[in-house]
Amino acid sequence: MNIQPIVEGDGEVTAVPVLLWRLIADSSAYPLGVGPPIRRPRTDLIREEGVRKAVRLARSRPNCAGILIVLDGDDDCPKDIGPQVQAWAQAEATPVPCYVVMPNREFEAWFLATIESLRGTRGIRHNAISHPDPESPRDAAGELRKG
């Protein structure tokens, strides 16, 4: 059984599986795997046909037991866009569970908020501390590189 991610950015293609594997390990949710992310541009993931097409592709992947769409909020409010994307996605995915996760600005802000858990890995300094307002930087990935 696999969670099949759908993501919008190159960074998420590599980061989302690592995050999901970590969550699976921490929760002992075995035997759950993670399929290779399906990458689609944001413009596809905020239009009904684009969402439905990506979900159909995800459902066709071997052992797809759930679908997770990760879409940055950017300058839009997640509460305005998220529910509509969720409705389109779940309508296409049924009976497979499908959820949309929409960080307020950028996916990488999650890592700025919890950087202590990443100390000493992936170039993060051993004394790194969480950003005081992780959703405020316009380039959270750049802030992470400063580590």
User: What pLDDT was estimated at residue 78?
Assistant: 85
Q: Which residues sit opposite 26 in a β-bridge?
A: none
How many Å apart are CA 38 and CA 118, to the nearest integer?
25
Write down the pTM of the prediction: 0.81
Domains delineated in the chain: 2-105 (3.40.50.261), 108-147 (no CATH)
Q: Over 80: is that where the pLDDT of 86 sits?
A: yes
Higher per-residue confidence, 26 vs 108: 26
Statement: residue 107 has pLDDT above 70: no
Q: What is the pLDDT of residue 23?
A: 85
Which amino acid, residue 54? A
Tally Cβ neighbours within 10 Å of residue 52: 16
Q: How confident is the model at residue 146 (pLDDT cuts 50, 70, 90)?
A: low
Other residues' Cβ atoms within 10 Å of the Cβ of residue 97: 12
Q: With left for phi above 0 and alpha for psi between -120 and 50, is residue 122 left, alpha or beta?
A: left
> Of all residues in the chain, what percent carry a pLDDT higher than 90?
48
Average pLDDT (40-56) is 97
